[in-house]
Amino acid sequence: MALALIVTFWPFSRALAQASEPAGEEKTRRVAVVDPGGRRSPQTLDAVMTLRSVSGQEIEAKLISATEETVMIERMGDGRQFEVPLANLDHYTEERVRHWMDQGPGGVAFNFAVTATKTLLDSDTFMSAGRDLKSSQWSYRVKVTNLTRHALSGAQLEYRIVFDDEVEIAKTIVAPGKGGNQQEGQLVDLPEMHFNDEIEFDTPPLALHTYEYVPMRGEREFSRDTIKGIWVRILKNGVLLHEFQSHPATMASLSWDNEEMLEIRVTNPFRDQFATGLR
């Protein structure tokens, strides 16, 4: 793995000295070359700046990725990469790097733990003209933990509950649903989250229906709405930091319905379709 090739060059002046020396066979042996694919994130925002150490030495480099303690840089000119502790940078340079980390979150390797628990809130079953009709209300309790030693601020969580809408029931009226792979969701602003901070919230209820009719003669009729799972994304400044699917095996082929950042609202097909009759 590429990380095994990372060598710490301290003091920082040694890396700066190498940057000013002509490239050659002997000098090359003294520099650790890290596979660019090992730490580079496709979402990382490029940033070229002059890094200055606490002793005043400078190096022109592009920031690649960062943690709370170190920054991976690519030296301009030969493309060689080094891992530099933020503590070895002067105060002004460190502040610039941390600003880059905040504004370009793809440069920070954020890690989260996400769980989602489905809960039945309410259900109702009744008979009408020999038909069994059932309605139920479901919700997810979503928990998110920041496992990164870097505070997260200004981020948002967006979720989609994916379900097959096969039947609609309004009082005693039964109608076909909107079909498979329907998605309902919401955009939630996250509070500032420090290392090991956890937030949780409950999604608004989602109405599901079941219809069954067994005639004295003829074939049985049965139709039921089913939840496939919940899809959660954490974003900052339009950059995707983390993604979670409660059931990846059945949701892998699905596409997110908000790629163009359309306005998000929580919908209720049952309410919307029969709003006039329920007033």
145 and 189 both lie in a single domain: yes
Residue-level pLDDT at 114: 95
86 and 119 both lie in a single domain: no
Q: Which amino acid is at 239?
A: V
- Would you say residue 269 has pLDDT above 80? no
Residue-level pLDDT at 25: 39
* Number of domains forming the structure of the chain: 2
97 and 133 both lie in a single domain: no
Residue-level pLDDT at 220: 83
Span 254-265, average pLDDT: 52
Instruction: Look at residues 107, 139, 159 and tell me which one is the last residue of a structural domain.
Output: 107
Residue-level pLDDT at 46: 47
Span 5-17, average pLDDT: 40
Instruction: Look at residues 57, 82, 107 and tell me which one is the last residue of a structural domain.
Output: 107
148 and 170 both lie in a single domain: yes
Exposed, middle or buried: residue 97 (CB in 10 Å: 0-12, 13-18, 19+)?
buried
Residue-level pLDDT at 78: 83
What domain range includes position 92?
Answer: 2-107
166 and 269 both lie in a single domain: yes
User: Residue 34: how many CA atoms within 13 Å on its side-chain side?
Assistant: 21
Model confidence pLDDT, tens digit, residues 73-130: 888 888 888 888 888 899 888 888 877 777 665 566 788 999 999 999 998 888 877 7
Instruction: Look at residues 107, 135, 169 and tell me which one is the last residue of a structural domain.
Output: 107
72 and 139 both lie in a single domain: no
Greater model confidence, 278 or 62: 62
E strands, the chain, are 47-52, 58-66, 70-75, 81-85, 112-128, 131-146, 155-170, 173-189, 198-202, 206-213, 221-224, 226-236, 239-245
Cβ 156 vs Cβ 201: under 8 Å:
no
13 and 43 both lie in a single domain: yes
148 and 36 both lie in a single domain: no
94 and 120 both lie in a single domain: no
60 and 166 both lie in a single domain: no
Model confidence pLDDT, tens digit, residues 129-179: 778 889 899 999 999 999 887 888 889 999 999 999 888 888 777 888 888
25 and 95 both lie in a single domain: yes
Whether residue 11 has a cis bond before it, omega within 30° of 0: yes
Q: Among 20-24, 41-45, 167-171, which is the least confidently predicted range?
A: 41-45
Domain CATH code at residue 91:
2.30.30.700
pLDDT band at 14, cuts 50/70/90? Answer: low
Residue-level pLDDT at 161: 94
pTM: 0.58
118 and 151 both lie in a single domain: yes
